[in-house]
């Protein structure tokens, strides 16, 4: 599986190691230093995005994945007040979200 990692802190680095150990490929890694690479074109290189960022950027990151038609798994906490909005947008865009 080809994975895009959004958020490359401790958890993102752990996911990368585990994914590679299981034979998966990380094709895109996004953190605050390379936001310019967080594009639909780059996301489409992946089969799935795994999002472990900050609460204030989680929804925007997830929406970017929806618009690129990439399923997203979000492990970010602290943004639950926006989850209903994310679910509605997910449904409207026929997206996939696991939180």
Per cent of the chain over pLDDT 90 is: 97
Q: Is the pLDDT of residue 93 over 90?
A: no
Give SS3 for 24: coil
Confirm whether pTM is higher than 0.85. Answer: yes
Phi/psi zone of residue 65: left (φ > 0), alpha (ψ -120 to 50 degrees), beta? alpha
Angle ∠(89,92,98) on CA atoms, nearest 5: 55
Q: Is the pLDDT of residue 39 over 90?
A: yes
């Amino acid at each position: 599986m080809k994975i895009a990692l959004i958020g490359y802190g401790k958890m993102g680095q752990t996911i990368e190691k585990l994914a590679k150990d299981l034979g998966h490929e990380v094709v895109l890694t996004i953190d605050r230093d390379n936001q310019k690479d967080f594009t639909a074109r780059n996301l489409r290189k992946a089969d799935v995005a795994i999002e472990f960022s900050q609460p204030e950027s989680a929804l925007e990151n997830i929406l970017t994945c929806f618009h690129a038609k990439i399923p997203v798994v979000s492990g970010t906490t602290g943004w639950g007040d926006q989850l209903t909005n994310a679910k509605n947008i997910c449904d409207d865009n026929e997206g996939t979200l696991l939180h």
